[in-house]
Amino acid sequence: MNKAMKNNLGIILFLTPALVIFFVFFVYPVFFVASTSLVRWDGITDITFVGVNNYISLFKDGTFIKSVTNNLKWSMSGGFIHVPMAMFVALLLSSKPKGWKILRTIYFFPNIISIIALSMMWMAMYNNEYGAVNALLRAVGLEHLQRNWLGDLHTAFPALIAYWIFYIGYFMVIILAEISTIPESYYEAASIDGANRIQQTIYITLPMLKGIMGTCITLSMVSGLKQFEQVFIMTNGGPANRTTLLALYLYKQMINYRYGLANAAGVMLLTFGVIVIFTIKKIFSTNKIEQVG
Amino acid sequence: MSKKVVLGMFAVVLVLTLLFSLTACGEKKVPAPDEAKQTEPSQKEVVINFPSIWVGKDSKANVFGSFVKEFNEKNAGKIKVVVEEMADYQAYRDKMKTNIAAGTVPDVFSFNNAKDSVLYYKSGNLMDLTPHMNGGWKEDFIADALKEVTYQDKIMAMPYEFAVTPLMYNKRLLDKAGVAEFPKTMDAFIEMAEKLKGQGVMAASQMTGENGWFSMLWYSHLLVAHGGPDVFDRGLDDPAFLEAAKSLKKLFQYTTGDAVGAGAAVAGGHFLSEKTAILVNGPWFIGRIEKEAAEGMYEQVNVAPAPTVAGGKGKQGYYVGFIQSSLAAAKQKDKAKEDAVAAFFKYISTPENVKRLSLDSGSLFVIKFKTDENDKMSHIQKQMIEQSSSAPSITKHFNAAMDTAVVTEFPQALSGMILGEFTPEQFVEQLKQKAAQ
């Protein structure tokens, strides 16, 4: 056996366990979900092939359409409000103002608290009878704005978005780490050329962050598509399905013993995820970043 | 690495994966140790595995644990019941459902009697208890309860815990509002609700969060009030579903401002803190009233049947009740093991043991037993037993009678109706759509 063959054998042997696990736990379930999305199946009795009927049922169901639009809104909020806010704070902290380390910890802190605990806390905050939000409104003389935030058709979904969107710590830390890798010499050169702080941010920092911004937006939007716990705990999709999301819709089909329909919704979720990833990848393609300096 | 090698490697992995998955999907089953010896009569100790939810902080955990211990001592060397503790009800339900689907049913397990439990019976994986019940054992049970677990003339489970969900009211608050007697009709009820409102108290706890439990129970009462005890037999097209929806919408005028979206903890908490005067719930809530209610409230809580409606088919004193849990067993090929399971079921369902369990936990059961004056029993539980015994009808609740998809949609449709998104007609239509989907 020559050296090249030995090398290849070694690579194959080292990669095989990971690939087997990948196929068994990722590829196979995807095929399983896709194939069972074409059947009627209650999980206990016999399976009946129904073709694309489950998909037709999905698109006829107003709740599914609502789930998709809500998921899109959630993902967009993540990509275009949550991540830019994280970037803004990261840019501010990157100049290392007094107390920046404490601020960084404070911003990151909600990320180490369980989602369930946070959700429960915000349910209490939004409560109509004893919630802090209404108490605050009363305190500042805005009684007329008081409402049952999670039980109102117009405020339930914005209230859900509003509660997590300010927890920017996770992406802030990622962006902050990326900023720290930008060579100081770029800023020194720009400074010699007479560029002020804002110009340095616009012409050096932001272009250098394009790649990581793409990653953060992808992560945030995909996470938006997968959202489940917060909505399940805080509203269970209500009132009147106004806050339902795809993962919750899928879960409800599953507990209704409609596994075929649930898996069809799962396939749609997967499809949306793939579309989001490819779109963001296209927009933020790092190959097109102009090298500075 | 050359492209050829990578492709070769990919092919090997793909074949391995397919082989693995096909093996997993195969029909062939490795026999369990018990099944392997099924043709021989069992000589050694029979072990019964029992994943149980009646553990930990469950109100029945204490006495039920004693049952298992006593049974094992009584049958030492012959039968041993091994309890697998599972305190999370939802996880337990999911696990049992998966086990039944996969054909790996535990020797003994419990389940709640929702409409979908018929799928369990259809699976063909459960033990038929009919031959054991026919020996006179079934005389201990309320006859209607056995009907609930009978599928194609076979008794597929042992009905066990029973629950009624009447109106629990705080007499102290009613007295303050000048209401001397609990209203018997809906008109009188609304009159009382207005008086309570005048005192700053809302009449009833309602909720649309989670599964809308308290409001679902209200809807069940109103359905019987309008449509009579057989209302569920006639399905969602019956006008009673619409009339009950209208009545329920009206009742939401007399509840707390957070009812839309509130869960059981919040809505139940309003009753315990005297923000509301009435709660519809089962006997398991008695313990919470005793321990968590406002000072002196427990003694003031009484029980009443729901009011009737003018022109309705529900007779005065009607009750909503249902089988809360049943026990089933895996189909056994080993006769000794089947007999052992039946012996265990018989032991935990003797009238004496059930009485012990009922008095200790506050729960009700479908096994008949007698009480005397010396038995320590909550006055609330006592009223529930007395009123349900003399009730002209006991009808199961909406969630137990309807398809799971309808049950899941109920809180959404209800919140839509309360917030004006849907009319009562559209509320019923929404439920029908889910039933038809």
Task: State if pTM tops 0.95.
Answer: no
- Structurally, chain A folds into a number of domains equal to 1
Q: Which of A147, A157, A233, A256 to mutate to test the interface with B (most CBs of B within 10 A)?
A: A256
Residue B33 inside a domain? The answer is: no
Give me the pLDDT at residue A17, please.
94
One domain, residues B158 and B181: no
Segment 227-256 of chain B within 8 Å of chain A by CB: 256
Task: Name the residue of chain B whose CA is nearest to A23's CA.
Answer: B17
Q: Closest partner residue to B415 among A57, A127, A239, by Cβ?
A: A239
The candidate with the shortest Cα–Cα distance to A261, out of B405, B29, B230, B199, is: B405
The answer, for B116 touching chain A at a CB cutoff of 8 Å, is: yes
B7 touching A (Cβ < 8 Å):
no
CATH of the domain at A210: 1.10.3720.10
Give A-chain residues touching B403 at CB under 8 angstroms: 256
- B266–A127 CB contact, under 8 Å: yes
Q: Find all residues with CB under 8 Å of B187, minimum gap 6, and list them.
A: B310
- Whether B361 and B384 share a structural domain: no
Looking at the structure, do residues B176 and B298 belong to the same domain, yes or no?
yes
Residue B415 in contact with partner chain A when CB distance is under 8 A:
yes
d(CA B306, CA B247): 13
Residue B194 near chain A (CB below 8 Å): no
**Min CA distance, B13 vs chain A (Å)?**
6
Final residue belonging to a domain, choices B336, B365, B394: B365
**Residue A1 confidence class, pLDDT cut points 50, 70, 90:** low
Range(s) of the domain holding residue B257: 167-321+380-436
Concatenated DSSP letters of B328-361:
EEB--S-HHHHHHHHHHHHHHTSHHHHHHHHHHH
Residues of B in contact with A237 (CB under 8 A): 412
What range does the domain containing A89 cover? Answer: 55-288
Residues of A in Cβ contact (< 8 Å) with B208 = 151, 238-239
Res B110: pLDDT: 94
Q: How far apart are CA B293 and CA B166, in angstroms?
A: 18
Contacts A7 to B, Cβ<8 Å:
1
Do A8 and B5 count as a contact with CB atoms less than 8 A apart?
Answer: yes
Q: Report the gap between the CA of A167 and the closest CA in chain B (Å).
A: 24
Query: Would the CB atoms of B119 and A19 count as touching at under 8 Å?
Result: no
**B184: closest CA of chain A, how far (Å):** 30
In this predicted model, what pLDDT tens digit does every residue of A165-224 receive, in sequence order? 889 999 999 999 999 999 999 999 999 999 999 999 999 999 999 999 999 999 999 999
Both B58 and B126 in one domain: the answer is yes
**Can you say whether the dihedral through the CA atoms of A163, A165, A171, A173 is positive or negative?**
negative
State pLDDT tens for residues B230-243: 999 999 999 999 99
For residue B14, tell me if it sits in a domain. no
Of B1, B262, B412, the CB nearest to A8: B1
Q: Flag whether A266 is in a domain.
A: yes
Question: Rounded CA gap, B182 and B366, in Å?
Answer: 28
Predicted local distance difference test score (pLDDT) of residue A286: 55
Examine residue B12 and state whether it is found in any structural domain, yes or no: no
**Tokens read off for A250:** 């899928």
Domain co-membership, B153 together with B100: yes
Interface test with B, best of A236, A257, A261 (most B CBs within 10 A): A236
Burial bucket for residue A153 (CB in 10 Å: 0-12, 13-18, 19+): middle
Nearest to A129 among B9, B258, B403 (CB): B258
Q: Hey, are the CB atoms on B421 and A8 less than 8 Å from each other? A: no
Tell the residue number behind the tokens 């050694």, with chain if given.
B44
Lookup result for tokens 């089962």: B282
Name the strands in the sheet holding B301-304, side by side, starting at the edge strand that comes first in the sequence: B202-204, B276-280, B167-170, B301-304
Tokens in use for B173?
Answer: 């608050």
Q: Which chain A positions have a beta carbon within 8 Å of B122's beta carbon? A: 44-45
Burial class (CB in 10 A: 0-12, 13-18, 19+), B173: buried
Q: What angle do CA B226, B254, B280 make, to 5 degrees?
A: 60
Question: In CATH, what number is assigned to the domain containing residue B156?
Answer: 3.40.190.10
CB spacing of B412 vs A129 below 8 angstroms: no
Q: Do A258 and B405 touch (CB under 8 A)?
A: yes
Find, among B277, B285, B270, the residue nearest to B324 by Cα.
B285
The confidence band for A292, taking pLDDT boundaries of 50, 70 and 90, is very low
Quickly count: other Cβ atoms within 10 Å of residue A187's Cβ: 16
- Element counts in chain B: helices (H) and strands (E): 19, 13
**Rounded Cα distance, B202 and B194, in Å:** 9
**Are residues A28 and B405, on separate chains, in Cβ contact within 8 Å?**
no
Regions of chain B short of the pLDDT cut 70:
1-43, 113
* Contact check, Cβ <8 Å, B421/A28: no
**B231 and B147: one domain?**
no
Say whether both B329 and B348 belong to one domain: yes
Tell me the shortest Cα–Cα distance from B234 to chain A, in angstroms.
Answer: 22
% chain A with pLDDT above 90: 75
Q: Are residues B156 and B171 in the same domain?
A: no
| Inter-residue long-range contacts of A107-115, CB under 8 Å, 24+ positions, other chains counted | A107/A168, A107/A169, A107/A172, A108/A169, A108/A170, A108/A172, A108/A173, A109/A169, A110/A167, A110/A169, A111/A167, A111/A169, A111/A170, A115/A229, A115/A230, A115/A233
Distance from CA of B425 to the nearest CA of A (A): 15
CB contact under 8 A, B415 and A44: no
Are A23 and B13 within 8 A, CB to CB?
yes
Is residue B29 assigned to a domain?
Answer: no
Structure tokens at A161: 């978005």
Calpha distance A26→A19 (Å, rounded): 10
Interface contact flag, A240 B412, Cβ < 8 Å: yes
Is B375 contained in some domain? Answer: no
Please check whether residue B268 touches A, CB under 8 A.
no
Number of domains in chain B: 2
Nearest by CB to A28, from B17, B418, B421: name it: B17
Q: Which residues of B touch A257 (CB under 8 A)?
A: 116, 119, 404
Nearest-angstrom CA–CA distance, B235 and B215: 19
Inter-residue contact B98 to A259 (CB < 8 Å): no
Quick one: closest CA in A to B434, which residue? A61
Residues B345 and B426 both lie in one domain = no
Q: Does B156 share its domain with B192?
A: no
Q: Are residues B237 and B96 in the same domain?
A: no
Has residue B265 been placed in a domain? yes
φ and ψ of B187, to 5 deg? -60, -45
| CB within 8 Å of B18: residues ≥ 6 apart | none
Is residue B202 within 8 Å of B170, Cβ to Cβ?
Answer: no
